[in-house]
Copies of this chain bind each other. A is one copy, B any other.
């Protein structure tokens, strides 16, 4: 039991809770023996779902939580006020070292606030960024920051670059990941004030493989492994990725259904197309970690299904095995203090 990675999972978070969450947790423990999941939430609802499945009873434990934080609630007030919520109880498990990680599809705001207030930052980390993997032409890139901190400063972005590099190298397995800053032109003198001030910090940092600016056009092309930007821009990139992808695919399906000829063609291309588009499906890569906390917090999509929950739980194993937080701690403290 000692070597197990213990993951607290918010059974009440997201659009498909508790059904898909419980299903994903079961799939995770059935795929790996070294995972223990704490399902946090309303006991009766979880029990009703969980009895549908077969699994090693030692690998899943229910932790009752009476309250649920909804996405409409102001985050700070919700975290402070709802001590019995699945998010607060799950995060306290991480804080008290009863769990290594917390996975939730619930309120982004509450998860970001709870991460800072309950789990706490690694000493020296100024702001913990939300860092999702986004699909590219031939792989994935890490987008950091993506919603945790608006109006960031250059020193924050430098830390995002360092933490992002450690994550990509150790969790995703990209050696010397290429780091770039999102900009509106490739030249060094371009950009807004924040980018202009951050650029030299990144350029002079010895710990990262900085390749300069990246224009948004090159992101889907895989132009960099770690894409640094402030949260507002990162959030726009992430959401537009999702929106444009689904609109385009919808258009294509519509086009294929427009005539008998194309309908027959659609039947023939369907399997190949499905496989191709699967590589562009963000849920394949699990949720987004909040980097720089004293423990791991992973935010999945609000509409996450079992597969994304399962992948997010499994992702926690690599995060622990690779000692990401120890590496961040060493990198940030040794270099900056």
Contacts and interface: CB of A to CB of B under 8 A. Distances in A.
Interface of A: 74, 136-137, 147, 150-151, 182, 184, 189, 191-193, 195, 215-221, 231-233, 235-252, 254-256, 258-259, 261-262, 264-273, 275-277, 279-280
A240 B259 CA distance: 31
Contact of A265 (B218, B240, B268, B280): B268
A292 B144 CA distance: 36
A273 B262 contact: yes
A217 to B, nearest CB: 4
Given A184-B232, A233-B236, A244-B245, 8 more contacts: A151-B193, A216-B240, A219-B240, A219-B243, A240-B244, A252-B276, A254-B276, A265-B265
Given A137-B250, A235-B216, A239-B217, A277 B255 contact: yes
B216 A239 contact: yes
A67 B25 CA distance: 66
23 contacts: A74-B189, A136-B247, A137-B247, A150-B191, A150-B193, A192-B232, A216-B235, A216-B239, A216-B240, A217-B242, A236-B237, A237-B240, A240-B240, A241-B244, A244-B245, A251-B277, A252-B252, A252-B273, A255-B277, A256-B273, A258-B272, A262-B271, A264-B268
A272 B262 contact: yes
A184 B240 CA distance: 11
- Kindly list the 6 A-B residue pairs having the minimum CB-CB distance in the complex, ordered from nearest: A265-B268, A255-B276, A265-B269, A217-B243, A262-B272, A216-B239
Count copies of this chain in the complex.
2
Mostly, the A contact residues are helix
A273 B244 contact: no
Contact of A221 (B182, B191, B243): B243
Given A193-B151, A269-B269, A220 B236 contact: no
B241 A240 contact: yes
Contacts of A242: 217
Contacts of A240: 216-217, 219-220, 237, 240-241, 244
A334 B216 CA distance: 38
B243 A220 contact: yes
